Structure 1
Amino acid sequence: MAPPEPPVDPDIDLDVPAQRLELRRAPWGTLAAIAAGGALGALARYGIGGAFPHGAGEFAWATFWINVSGCFLIGVLMVLILETFEVHPLTRPFLGVGVLGGYTTFSTYAVDFEQAVRAGSAGTALAYLAGTAVAALVAVWTGVTAARAAARLRGGRA
């Protein structure tokens, strides 16, 4: 039996001729699932962020709740697809990496933090920085715990 193919390295330098071959071995179905899911997740994030804007020195509630809800959902999803149900191999790339990866926005979290600092709202910036990190971790734990409890109630594997 042949050893499994190594995963594609996201940090491939296509300017290095020896590394260009990596792209040919890329799992195109997986990449398409991630791209499609990412587009949907990013659209949802954009819509929510646009519906609840904030000023540069204000607490970025929309981004906060997007990240916290996304972390909760990733906790639920991982239990459902890894411990509870048999799913299609593209489910995790589509929903986990794609939809929830595009939905959660820790890059915007960093920009919001920087904008709050530049606006002279250091206290708000620090509360946002720490509050988001703590709430996101609690949300993942809560999602995992809730999904496992629900799976046990319905007689699942978790």
Structure 2
Amino acid sequence: MSEQPPDPRTDADVDLRVDADRGELTTRPATILLAIAAGGVLGALARAGLQHAAPHPPTGFPWATFTINTSGCLLIGVLMAVLGHLGGGHPLARPFLGVGVLGGFTTFSAYAVDIQQALVAGAPGTALAYLAATLLGALAAVGLGDAVTAALLRRRVAR
């Protein structure tokens, strides 16, 4: 069974194995990279602000990071459904919103550090609960965002 490349209209990342992405980066690399960078700044600032607004002790459940990661996954599901519905949308939509904004907003590194800090602080139960809740919550959120948005878009078109 051969592995098929991701659909360039709905893949959240820039993938050089996809002709459309390779073409964009070859013909307008600065534009794509600037879109990703600008989106990443906005997403990272939003994440940092939310994490600062809701700090947690090392032994406490990191609700801010959990909420950021699950809501970001929900939004990436919504974005992919919308872009799929629009036939890919604007060429900079996926790099700016998907890779940049939502990539900068969600954060695996903070997730991993939160787990490590909970373990070091002697709270393995919190670490394990957070690890599992984030993994399951993020997967459910992206699926829910995609499914609900796609259904709403199909309903809207049917009218």
- TM-score bracket, normalised by the shorter chain, equals 0.7 to 0.9
**Structure 1 partner of 2:148:** 146
Q: Show the 5 A alignment for 1:105-116.
A: 105-116=107-118
Percent of aligned positions with the same letter in both sequences? Answer: 57
Larger Rg: 1
Q: 1:128 aligns with which of 127, 130, 148?
A: 130
Long gaps (5+) in structure 1: 1-5, 9-22
Shift of 1:46: 0.5
- Tell me the TM-score normalized by structure 2: 0.81
Q: Which runs of 4+ in 1 moved over 6 A?
A: 23-26
Give, as a single letter, the amino acid of the residue that structure 2 aligns with 1:129. L
Question: What's the offset of the Cα at 1:7?
Answer: 2.5
RMSD of the alignment, in Å?
2.1
- With structure 1 as the length reference, what TM-score do the two structures score? 0.81
Given the alignment, which residue of 93, 101, 104 partners 1:102?
Answer: 104
Instruction: Decide whether aligned partners of structure 1 residues 26 and 112 sit closer, same or farther in structure 2, where only a CA change above 3 A counts.
Output: farther
Q: Deviations over 1:44-71 (max 9, x none)?
A: 0011000000001111000000000000
How far has the Cα of 1:96 moved from its partner?
A: 0.2
Aligned length: 137
Specify which of 56, 68, 71 is matched with residue 70 of structure 2: 68
